[in-house]
Structure 1
Amino acid sequence: MRALDTTIRNYHWGSRTALAALRGAPPSSSPEAELWVGAHPSAPSLLRGAGTPLDRYVAANPVGTLGREALAAFGPRLPFLLKVLAVETPLSLQVHPDREQARSGHAAGVFGDDRPKPEILVALTEFETLAGFRDPAETVVLLDSLGAAFGPLRDLVAAGDLRGALRWALHEPVDLVDPPAWLGSVAATYPGDPGVVAALLLNHVALRPGQGVYVAAGVPHAHLRGTGVELMADSDNVVRAGLTSKPVDVRMVLDLVESTPGLVLDGEEDGPLRTYPTPEPEFRLHAVSPGAVLHDRGPQLLLCVRGSVELARGGDRLVLSAGEAAFLPHGHKTSVAGDGRAYWATTGAAAG
């Protein structure tokens, strides 16, 4: 059981206050967008006191840290990455590859790694996102209300051609004069961006604290505002369609996009644990309250988000305050005490 020093990523869409408040720190001088907990080589957490990057620590003893089952399934690395996102202005409209697309794309030099990037986000505050295509009948009603300029888009949606509708939205210069209220911040942040019109096709999801949204590979999505805990496969493969100043690749987006909806999850409660199941083998996210006993299978991360929690494992004890995290290697059960709230990341197979 090792306490971690985590990494803050500064992106323009972040907040100067949300992650600072989580850590009990004063407001930041620049936007703080993501707090990373994990072993991704671009920003690995460090073992507190030793300064050893977590990816190197795992690689030095993969059997002891991961367990034989996770090592056989995912290789000598931590298969998931845990984050806290603080979204003050909208993120890009994007999709991620599935397993086979990531492998072939990496072999062709298109993707930086050979892994898929499905995700789940659980809201810490009220959280708004666009996730997956909206029900076509509802989208037709919306587009009818916007006028004749959106007639071709409306007809594609009515015919069930959602990929064709997305292609039209990303290629046709149409001015959205009076956007729906939920789209106002996006239109104001990215005036004239074709991603604004594409957003009309997507499902607007408003999460309460404790609710989650699962975004599978190929699901178009864009987070709009709020703070949440996000868990994903340990990958950085992102393809953007719009709502960004970064490079976009509409052709690849259209190759990758799927009509699978984003799935809203309330979680499954079992005493002091609330689990958010997904079909992904790489990860499973759980909300943890004091009194929980965490299983001993596979590698695990635990992040305290409120108050403090005391972890007891194999004779060792560790206290984490809000914003602090720990790596729990394979092999020992962990009991949780204190007055706080935490999120626990495991592999999907170990949680099953």
Structure 2
Amino acid sequence: MLVLDAVVRSYAWGSRTALARLRGDAGPSPHPEAELWFGAHPADSAYVHGARPRDGEDAPADGRSSLLDLIESDPAGQLGAEVMARFGPRLPFLLKLLAAEEPLSLQAHPSRDQALEGFDREEGAGIPIDSPIRNYRDRNHKPEVVVALERFDALAGFRDPARTVDLLGAIGVPELDPHLGLLRGQPDEAGLRALFTTWITMPQAMVYRLLPKVLEGCVRYLAEHGNGGEFAAEARSTLQIGEAYPGDVGVLSSMLLNRITLEPGEALYLPAGNLHAYLHGVGVEIMANSDNVLRGGLTPKHVDVPELLRVLDFHSVPATPTEGVATGARERVYLSDTPEFRLSSIDLHDGCVEISGSGPEILLCTGGAVEAHCDAVETTIHATQALWVPASSGPVTLTAVPHERGPLAHVPQDPGAGAAGGTGAQVFRARVGSA
């Protein structure tokens, strides 16, 4: 068991206060902190403390080693025979702590077959792996599960076309009538594809003419109906996105998606081809170990429209949050059909919890402070800190300890929790899914 240091991704949409608040810092971070990566992706591997150097090698001066290097040096000991047999000598999942102050890009991720074909195609074309126009940076798919630590707003999956017709009609923009006809005539995935394609390929001059009319319609709708209106949340989100990304055609496309709010502890599963965008909030995210993203707007980054259209799933699906499944008094599992990962949350108040498994695990503290015992090693981690537990380790015992750092996330509050002397804690457990 080793302490695991995350890699910080400082994207513009990140927050200077959210993760600082979790850590219990006295003030905001100097730069936006968007994601903390806990994993072994080649693009950005986390670091472990105290790993033994290989024979003939000196220990790093700072005592840290790349988790990617550690796994490559001892795949059997770090991953275990079963995981290696299923996924090869690499960690199959990537865990993140995410803080969105502004909306993220409109995006989707490929299936495994699409990723294999796309990666090989771009390799054959000679596009450098770090090129800004590269779509496929690895050969893996990227299904995801996100769990809210606080109220978390998102767009995910195409809304039922009939409901979208009602929404676009409700904001009362005559200039949208020709576009509405595409859905009225084909209220199915073919109609959604036709309208989405029309909007995302629209000349920019036309976007500049149409988008202000749509935003004005949203303002009128809220003025007439207030927050109790049937489509109030959708109208507010459109205005929020329009303010963050003026003149971006993705503002129009976002109106085709389900608007969803996750309450603390609720989760959302995002399979391949699901068009989505996180709007605001803090959450824990787990995914297959990939960085393949096809973007559709709301970003200054590369947007490849033909490739996005190739991977999108235009079937309308309800975006239904899940609270997970309780597997004991303290642990709750967020199920998916993805074999690469399994995510659960553990709430600690009194007593201790012992966990054991046959494969590698990452234990991420998101609230309070946790004392961990494993193989005669004892260490304490606080919110935003994590542990790497290799397959060769024995059982790990977790105990909440008094703390003075960071508020508890969605842990039920006890007197004093989140303040000096609090005793509650929360840990997310990331491991490989069942075969």
TM range (shorter): over 0.9
Aligned to 2:341: 283
Return the alpha-carbon distance in structure 2 between the equivalents of residues 2 and 320 of structure 1: 11
Q: Please tell me whether residue 185 in structure 1 is matched to residue 240 in structure 2.
A: yes
CA pair 136-293 structure 1, distance change in 2 beyond 3 A = farther
Aligned to 2:291: 236
Return the alpha-carbon distance in structure 2 between the equivalents of residues 292 and 136 of structure 1: 47
**Aligned with residue 217 of structure 1, among 235, 248, 272:** 272
Tell me, yes or no, if the aligned pair for 1:19 and 1:35 is still in contact at 8 Å. no
Encode CA deviations 1:49-96: one digit per residue, 9 max, x unaligned.
431100110111111111111111111111111111110111100111
Q: Please tell me whether residue 121 in structure 1 is matched to residue 146 in structure 2.
A: yes
Tell me, yes or no, if the aligned pair for 1:163 and 1:257 is still in contact at 8 Å. no
Return the alpha-carbon distance in structure 2 between the equivalents of residues 71 and 156 of structure 1: 49
Encode CA deviations 1:292-326: one digit per residue, 9 max, x unaligned.
33231211111101111122223332221111101
List gaps (5 residues or longer) in structure 2: 51-62, 123-134, 219-234, 401-423
Aligned to 1:168: 198
Return the alpha-carbon distance in structure 2 between the equivalents of residues 348 and 258 of structure 1: 24
Deviation at 1:170, TM superposition (A): 1.1
- Aligned to 2:44, the other structure's residue is in SS state coil
Report the residue type matching 1:293 in the other structure: E
Aligned to 1:325: 386
Return the alpha-carbon distance in structure 1 between the equivalents of residues 163 and 372 of structure 2: 48
Return the alpha-carbon distance in structure 2 between the equivalents of residues 70 and 151 of structure 1: 54
Return the alpha-carbon distance in structure 2 between the equivalents of residues 218 and 59 of structure 1: 31
| Structure 1 consecutive aligned stretches of length 4 or more whose deviation exceeds 4 Å | none
Return the alpha-carbon distance in structure 2 between the equivalents of residues 183 and 233 of structure 1: 30
Q: Which has the higher strand share?
A: 1
Deviation at 1:344, TM superposition (A): 0.8
Encode CA deviations 1:203-258: one digit per residue, 9 max, x unaligned.
00111011111111110001100111111111110011100111101111111001
Encode CA deviations 1:5-29: one digit per residue, 9 max, x unaligned.
2221111001111111222233112
Return the alpha-carbon distance in structure 1 between the equivalents of residues 169 and 324 of structure 2: 36
Return the alpha-carbon distance in structure 2 between the equivalents of residues 42 and 226 of structure 1: 25
Return the alpha-carbon distance in structure 1 between the equivalents of residues 354 and 164 of structure 2: 45
Q: Please tell me whether residue 343 in structure 1 is matched to residue 344 in structure 2.
A: no
307-316 or 132-141, larger mean C-alpha shift: 307-316
Q: Please tell me whether residue 144 in structure 1 is matched to residue 157 in structure 2.
A: no
Deviation at 1:334, TM superposition (A): 1.9
Return the alpha-carbon distance in structure 1 between the equivalents of residues 198 and 364 of structure 2: 42
Output the TM-score relative to the length of structure 2: 0.78
264-273 or 274-283, larger mean C-alpha shift: 264-273
Aligned to 2:130: none
Within-5 A mapping of 1:1-352 = 1-25=1-25, 26-49=27-50, 50-109=63-122, 111-146=136-171, 147-158=173-184, 159=186, 160=188, 161-172=191-202, 173=207, 174-175=210-211, 176-178=214-216, 179=218, 180-259=235-314, 261=317, 262-270=319-327, 271-290=329-348, 291-331=352-392, 332-338=394-400, 339-349=424-434
Encode CA deviations 1:158-206: one digit per residue, 9 max, x unaligned.
4112222211221233322333112211011111211000011000011
Report the residue type matching 1:264 in the other structure: P
The count of residues paired between Structure 1 and Structure 2 equals 350
Deviation at 1:128, TM superposition (A): 0.3
Tell me, yes or no, if the aligned pair for 1:309 and 1:320 is still in contact at 8 Å. yes
- Aligned to 1:63, the other structure's residue is in SS state helix
Return the alpha-carbon distance in structure 1 between the equivalents of residues 370 and 434 of structure 2: 26
Return the alpha-carbon distance in structure 2 between the equivalents of residues 337 and 104 of structure 1: 46
Return the alpha-carbon distance in structure 2 between the equivalents of residues 275 and 18 of structure 1: 25
Larger Rg: 2
- Aligned to 1:242, the other structure's residue is in SS state coil
- Aligned to 1:264, the other structure's residue is in SS state coil
Report the residue type matching 1:24 in the other structure: G
